[in-house]
Structure 1
Amino acid sequence: MDPGFSTDDIAPIAILMDELRSEDVQLRLNAIHRISTIALALGPERARGELIPFLQESVDDEDEVLLALAEELGRNFEEYIGGAEYAQLLLGPLENLSAVEETLVRDKAAESITKVSEVLNSSQIEQYYLPLVQRLSRGEWFTSRTSSCALYAPVYDKVGTAMQDDLRRAFASLGTDDTPMVRRAAAKWLGPFIKKLSKPHVLADGLAVYRRLQSDDQDSVRLLTVEDLIAIAQHLTPAEVKDLLLKQIRQTITDKSWRVRYMAASHFNELAETVGQEMVREELIGHYVQLLKDNEAEVRTAAAGQIPGFSKLLEKEVILARIVPCVRDLCQDTSQHVRAALANQISGLAPLLGKDATIEHLLPLFLHLLKDEFPEVRLNIISKLEQVNTVIGIELLSESLLPAIVELAEDKSWRVRQAIIEYIPLLANQLGKPFFDEQLGNLCMSWLGDTVFSIREAAIVNLKKLTEVFGVDWAKVQIVPKVVGMGQHPNYLYRMTTVQAITVIAPSFTLEIVRGDILETLLQLANDPIPNIRFNVAKALEVLGTTFGDRAEGRQLIEQKVFPVLEMLKNDQDADVRFFAARGLQKTHEAGGKLSLAAAGLKQP
């Protein structure tokens, strides 16, 4: 047994082994998650001789347990059985898991086999790994053949030329398998496999497999060949792409299945960057426009997400002539998802078009999208305004768009207001301090008095973030007086907001600001007739005590001002107030204890 374990550990290990054999699924699952502990306790030799054979026979189990086992065996488990020289022993249980019916288990087993292959030497790969791949590839059930597709690429460049030839032939046969699920797996893993091939072998073998899969009668297979197409194109020159792949490119982009067109639209930029500038101008621009006008909203959504990236490959005149008219149409699209995708990307056109064209063509579209009925569309525009600001300047941007933003900030839907609040720090960073104070400062403070609690809560967090953006000196002038002033309001909700705001924002302030501008208001509210306010004061004092009480300059203030009030609240008639006051005293005393230890040159035990 491992010297790190005593005889006292034998009983718990026996219990764990019993749990592995238990009829209770949850017990078996718990044991699997602790299987490295079992292996460590058994020691490498017993783990190899007893545990691994047991696991190899454990495939007749619940999918959840098998999934956990497949995952655990891929977590450097070879360390527990004697190191990399015995890593091939893990392939047995994983091979069994690679053939089960549940897809998640098979995928995880294949992933773990790949991880194990990273520590195998060439001899182990030849003697154990490749035979495993062959058995899975020729398995009677499609499940094993499906799993095998993932196992070719990881070791291809670790074996000799003759074995590489065998691997290419075997993979090609998987691409013509009778079962669609196997061909689908071949299409999924062809791209990674092609990346390992030399250019002659791509042309001789990879291209043939790709063409067969790309013309498959199952769209679930064809849609996975889009990434294969890109992988092959990366091996070729633009002239070779045009000569060898143009037909397949056209077929993929215009496929009768919207799912294939969706995949083509999703990867359009990658394809365009690979095929060369000439083909982009002559061929892809027309296809891209068609994708932007596709009958299916999902395809238009995916294509809209590619707009700035694809436009970078075009001249400004082409963008204005071909892309901008499509963008204008997409602003009116019937699908909110299309409009949201467009709103998330449209600002990326501004740097490509320049100031004048952005003002003429894009600003009206920004305004239109800012008034969209769906919040996600409006928020996507706001979140990307920085790119537009860089191009046309903050003055013009604010003149055009700020009224729309202010209108949203007062939207009747509280969820819209809350979402706008969350973007205010981003806007503040873009607008700058003077402009923000003039245009949005009062608006931010007005949210503190909103009738909806979630808005008040978000407004407080917003003030903390603004303090981080503009600094504590700005906050002392712009935030503190207004927050403190609300503490005198006859409506208890305003007084509550003052306490909660101090709790959140005070840690960002200096001790001087807390002492001079905040603390007295908080201490006065400790006598508020509303119990909810009093126990929130106790919470706030706890925050001040733990934030400033562990430094010498703050400790005196805490002892003089905070402790007496917490002691008073500890005797309050309300149970909640007493609880939070007692907790505040304890936490603040602990902070003081750290200070005393530090002064004595000691560490906290």
Structure 2
Amino acid sequence: MAGADGDDSLYPIAVLIDELRNEDVQLRLNSIKKLSTIALALGVERTRTELLPFLTDTIYDEDEVLLALAEQLEDLETLVMPTLRQAAEDKSWRVRYMVADKFSELQKAVGPEITKNDLVPAFQNLLKDCEAEVRAAAANKVKEFCENLPEDNREQIIMTHILPCVKELVSDTNQHVKSALASVIMGLSTILGKDNTIEHLLPLFLAQLKDECPEVRLNIISNLDCVNEVIGIRQLSQSLLPAIVELAEDAKWRVRLAIIEYMPLLAGQLGVEFFDEKLNALCMAWLIDHVYAIREAATCNLMKLVEKFGAEWAQNTIVPKVLGMANDPNYLHRMTTLFCINALSEACGQEITTKQMLPVVLKMSNDQVANVRFNVAKSLQKIGPVLDSNALQTEVKPVLEKLASDADMDVKYFAQEAISVLALA
């Protein structure tokens, strides 16, 4: 027990060791928190001779012990590093995993010299570990590890020792490893600068952007702004955008679907001007895709883009093209016009909906295809709350009443339902 004055140096070492080895996780964690204070109070000599020998086994269960010691002890190379090296090469993958997971903290604790001499080789080994869990944990620390390297030779260490391992991980057989790497690799561009990014990193980004794992592609697209800041939008469009467009036109509809889902995020990263120039036409082309799931996702995508770029942008760029599809010979494309209006009306607001969208919907009530007519009724029900009472009474009500007497039973049903929901009876 600690002395009456609370001096942790009087805390019996044997009791501390028992607590560190106890099955109760919370007790172990509490003991670990005491450890650095006790080590500091004991001093380097007593820690070396009395405390450290008891911790050799414990380290494999709780690598926070290493952190606590590394932060307090002076002779790190002699006292801590042998245990760390042993843990980083332990036959149990769980031990190696814990070392990889805490590697950034260890790096900060031991300082630049030991990092350069001991941690860089250890980190390389963890990135090449035979167990995927260990590689994934280490891959997730790549950006942070590189950021914390000593500035005077950071670039040389990364290019010589870390980047070759990263290149191997890009084509790793395990998708969790690739995904972990993809979530941080873009951050290396800000560390290595424009020239290294263009020459060495862009080919890796391109490979990951074409990876069969959706999460890998998403992680790359999600962090494009990091690269954009370093190399600029022009270089980015020349290198990575063609791959995105290629995926957007892939023969497999599920691949196209995945890119659609990323598009609002990508638009936000690249900005409205670049989006209009490079990607707008692609988004509109999806609206007439032969697969319904693609058309549906493309409609939802437009709504998200309007929420991001605003109603004025929609009025100038999206709405005219959508309304133009109302005259398409293919009735499926005409129905897509209605689906888009349903999705866009609230985001675009009352004025655009009333002046531009409503006349098109009303005109489509005369369509020869019953499926289009009953979707007109559903659209009027959907956009009704956006309209003012005058438009509802003078324009919407007469058309719904006409559809309520349609020869097609489905058209009748949906028209009557719209009249009821909008309280137009």
Aligned to 2:66: 229
Work out whether 1:557 is the aligned partner of 2:400. Answer: no
The answer on 1:215 being equivalent to 2:50 is no
* Distance apart, 1:275 and its partner CA: 2.6
Classify the secondary structure of the residue corresponding to 2:290: coil
What is the aligned partner in structure 2 of residue 376 from structure 1? 215
Tell me the equivalent position of 1:301.
136
Deviations 1:341-381 (A, max 9, x none): 22222111000011111111111222222233433333322
Structure 2 CA distance for aligned equivalents of residues 582 and 227 of structure 1: 68
Partner of 2:32: 194
Which residue number corresponds to residue 407 of structure 1?
Answer: 246
Deviation at 1:582, TM superposition (A): 4.1
Q: Where does the alignment leave 5 or more consecutive residues of structure 2 unmatched?
A: none
Kept in 2, the 8 Å contact 1:347–1:388? The answer is: yes
Q: Residue deviations 1:490-519, cap 9 Å, x none? A: 222112211111111110113222122211
Aligned equivalents of 1:547, 1:196: Cα separation in 2: 63
Matched letter for residue 111 of structure 2: G
Amino acid at match of 2:57: S
Higher relative contact order (CA 8 A, sep 6+): 2
Mapped pair 1:566 → 2:392: no
Q: Does 1:173 align with 2:11?
A: no
Q: 1:445 aligns with which of 269, 273, 284?
A: 284
CA positional deviation for 1:233: 4.2
Match of 2:340 among 481, 489, 501: 501
In structure 2, the partner of 1:311 is 146
The answer on whether the counterparts of 1:308 and 1:349 sit within 8 Å (CA) in structure 2 is yes
Q: 3-state SS of the aligned residue for 1:239?
A: coil
Aligned counterpart, 1:389 = 228
Deviations 1:465-511 (A, max 9, x none): 21122222221122112211212222221122111111111101132
The CA distance in 2 between the partners of 1:162 and 1:291, in whole Å, is 40
Question: Is residue 19–residue 31 contact of structure 2 (8 Å, CA) maintained in 1?
Answer: no
Change (3 A) 1:238 1:313: farther
- 1:577/1:266 CA distance change after superposition, 3 Å: farther
Change (3 A) 1:464 1:176: closer
Q: Render the CA deviation track for 1:99-131: whole Å, top value 9, x for unaligned.
A: xxxxxxxxxxxxxxxxxxxxxxxxxxxxxxxxx
Q: Distance in 2 between matches of 1:170 and 1:463?
A: 65
CA separation in 2, counterparts of 1:294 and 1:396?
Answer: 35
Q: One-letter code of the match for 1:374?
A: C
Q: Which residue of 2 aligns with 1:268?
A: 103
Aligned residues: 415
| TM score, norm. by length of structure 1 | 0.62
Q: CA deviation at 1:226?
A: 2.2
Aligned to 1:340: 179
Task: Determine if contact 1:210/1:228 at 8 Å carries over to the other structure.
Answer: no
Residue type of the alignment partner of 2:220? I
Deviation sequence 1:276-328 (CA, Å, 0-9, x none) = 22322221111001111112222222211111010001212221221112212
* Residues 311 and 319 in structure 1, CA contact (< 8 A), matched pair in contact too: yes
* Greater gyration radius: 1
Identity among equivalent positions (%) equals: 46
Change (3 A) 1:541 1:245: same
Q: Distance in 2 between matches of 1:201 and 1:388?
A: 44
Per the alignment, residue 357 of structure 2 pairs with: 518
CA distance in 2, matches of 1:250, 1:307: 19
Contact 1:545 / 1:588 at 8 angstroms: preserved in 2?
A: yes
Question: 1:489: which partner in 2?
Answer: 328
1: CA distance, partners of 2:55 / 2:401: 77
For the 8 Å contact 1:210–1:229, the answer to whether it is kept is: no
Change beyond 3 A, Cα 1:266–1:485: same
Corresponding residue for residue 602 of structure 1: none
- Separation of aligned partners in 1, 2:292 and 2:256: 12
Q: TM-score, normalised by structure 2?
A: 0.86
1:252 Cα deviation after fit: 1.6
Cα distance in 1, alignment partners of residues 414 and 103 from structure 2: 58
Give, in angstroms, the shift of residue 265 of structure 1: 1.4
Map Cα deviations across residues 430-467 of structure 1 (whole Å, 9 max, x no partner).
Answer: 33333222221111101111122221111111111211
